[in-house]
Structure 1
């Protein structure tokens, strides 16, 4: 059957061109459906019904989402791409001043040789291949954990979808973990959302927060230096980034007066709505004191800001006198004036700490004081992606519910956990000591997390050459370092820094 439609358009504007068209379109239905376009007039090029010439791509840099072009993510940026090219060149026999590329650009512990925790992998293996339950090499507590997880999965299989918010049993285990961590502060499993790592949950929460246009557009306060996920997500969502600076001269501490300065300056061009905190800090490695956290909570309450607490490095605290305090615990210990008022989302992940299980993409978010109607919208939003990876959920469950003293895997688990954290602490201390011995480099003590963010003092000629190449000076430095030594770092300009200062992040 053939159906004929006729239409005409008087003008088609492409740049400065205006053309007249009279077009007939025949749509033929059959085994092979064809659309034949006949153009009448003097023009020989063809125009499809959506206004795109037949020889042009529908999706181009001019037609794509402009917000995506604003996104930058230095951790996997140009230097890392060049590092991959160099690795390929080495494999083909091209001679370099080095034999391998050392990737210190990203916190991927197992890629750098850290061994996974035995118990975690035993449980995951059993969950993935239940025939292994017959294998006597697996301890009984690992089998018990795996069986419990499988019984909570659809069809008893790790390959089935879960509820969009995550497996209910695992959310209950996460809630109990938070209560133990926070010394009895209550946690409702209904406030727990399992996620694809912490990153996915952070972006989801930012999606809920961003609204408005022009001077009413949502502003989100983020630390400088910051983890580039935040600036990238805000650029993609078209939100306004409100930068507050950490104090490098005082071990990257957070000062509430700086928060006030940044907030007041931002109010003229956006509507500040959220405050993001990374504790322990990435890329700066500082650990916030309890007093600092209290000050931040008071500030958020006074200014009616939604608090987002990125706490994925909570087990990575090394410096004497430093201790991790969760925002949730401090909030509730400050009493009802704050605990019933301040809206908080906190995040954790299986990718960091002593686990280092980046590839499994396990994590969770806890929300506190979220409006019930907004919470319903959050649940709807996460349901669009069906569910977080179920193997990642299983891993998260054994992280928050590890072997207990009476179980056969306990001693091995404790030794592996302690050895890993001790090794990370030793490397952090050794790294800062060595960096401070190098002329032109100044590194603050690493109190926690997994990174150093040293300041580099570049000679004027290097800065000038970088500017001539239209590169940030620390980008220029890091690229030179990669080409000459094979060491892959991330320039401080990718994380943000004070004007005139230069840094790099090293893992």
Structure 2
């Protein structure tokens, strides 16, 4: 998509992969210092060696310090932090840990609709039961506890719901849940004895005025010991999103809170099966958690590059919503966070009939026609789940702003042509 990598992240990674460059004047001293510190704790001072299964200890300590800074001083224990091959690996590990039973005692996993398909695929792979709760599109994809309760009560007729998954900021919907909403979710999980899984990989990607990221852990501890000593929580973060976008290097972490010690022992066994996360991903995660500090040689350029990426994304989020909202038949909520818009589209009855005749979902038919005629690839809403009778597509806001303008214009023109053709 043309986003330039953050220089400092790549410098430290390069030095760790090829330590012979530590003598090169091309690299700033703080990048060299970070690389030497990380290489010193690698087996044989090489990123080619296995590490401890939960990840390198000093990196887990750096993650803990990052979480403490983010959450205003609430303590984080490095022993409760597990590094992972991106957040996806950690999500699957936790689902494996939590799924059990047969028949009506089988674990039910509550997931938002629309959802990121990792969850539905993981639930299916583990033979758990998918329990859908619907986000409220008319209120900017907010989460209503009454909907959670409806889904839970209905699911208890055929399974044992044990897990509640939240994606915040949302993928594919781009919403940022309010603090009040998060408090309500925590109270609901406490009342119903549900294990909370908080997917927070887009926590750096918040754009809308008045929107703010609140970590589930911070809100949980600020709600007091009634909740903070009882509610079981795991939260996930990744180097794939944010301002970094280093999805190919596969780095992430999860932090568990209030896990029973015997259960945590089983988690450690599960984690050890995959040996260790990729070490270059661990290295890059550490630099994200422990970035240049004021006064260090790379600080100014790091902050400048980070702010350019995030301000560009904020501009593109607003641009996407503005342009789509001008097109009759397309409804697009504000893109408050993450990296996608998820507009709702009206599809004429004749197009629905044509799609069904060809064996496609109507929004899949629309997306295929769009791809064939314009070369623009978007994902149909049916791939994420949506309310019956509604149609959507997910589109990334990542392209360079001038390219994005062209994409949005072509897409809008195609939609007008498509609806006229099938009207």
Residue 219 of structure 1 aligns to a residue whose secondary structure is: strand
2:210 aligned with 1:321: yes
Q: CA deviation at 1:222?
A: 0.2
1:7-406 correspondence runs (5 A): 112-406=1-295
Which residue is equivalent to 2:351?
462
Which residue is equivalent to 1:432?
321
Q: CA deviation at 1:213?
A: 0.7
Question: What TM-score do you get using the length of structure 2 for normalisation?
Answer: 0.93
Q: CA deviation at 1:349?
A: 0.1
Q: CA deviation at 1:152?
A: 1.1
2:382 to 471, 483, 493: 493
Q: CA deviation at 1:441?
A: 1.1
Q: CA deviation at 1:437?
A: 1.9
Distance 1:297 1:400 in 2: 26
Q: CA deviation at 1:436?
A: 1.5
Distance 1:438 1:477 in 2: 16
Distance 1:340 1:470 in 2: 51
Distance 1:363 1:376 in 2: 21
C-alpha distance after superposition, 1:192-250 (max 9, x if no partner): 00000000000100001111111111000000000000000001110000000000000
Residue 506 of structure 1 aligns to a residue whose secondary structure is: strand
Distance 1:483 1:309 in 2: 37
Distance 1:297 1:152 in 2: 38
| Count of residues in Structure 1 that have an aligned counterpart in Structure 2 | 396
Greater share of residues in helix? 2
Unaligned runs of 5+ in 1: 1-111
Which residue is equivalent to 2:413?
none
Runs of 4+ in 1 over 4 A off after TM superposition: none
C-alpha distance after superposition, 1:123-143 (max 9, x if no partner): 000000001011101000000
Unaligned runs of 5+ in 2: 397-423
Distance 2:41 2:243 in 1: 26
Distance 2:116 2:190 in 1: 24
Distance 1:238 1:184 in 2: 40
Question: What TM-score do you get using the length of structure 1 for normalisation?
Answer: 0.78
Larger Rg: 1
Which residue is equivalent to 1:416?
305
Q: CA deviation at 1:262?
A: 0.4
Distance 2:387 2:331 in 1: 15
Distance 2:56 2:20 in 1: 23
Residue 391 of structure 2 aligns to a residue whose secondary structure is: coil
Residue 359 of structure 1 aligns to a residue whose secondary structure is: helix
Q: CA deviation at 1:275?
A: 0.1
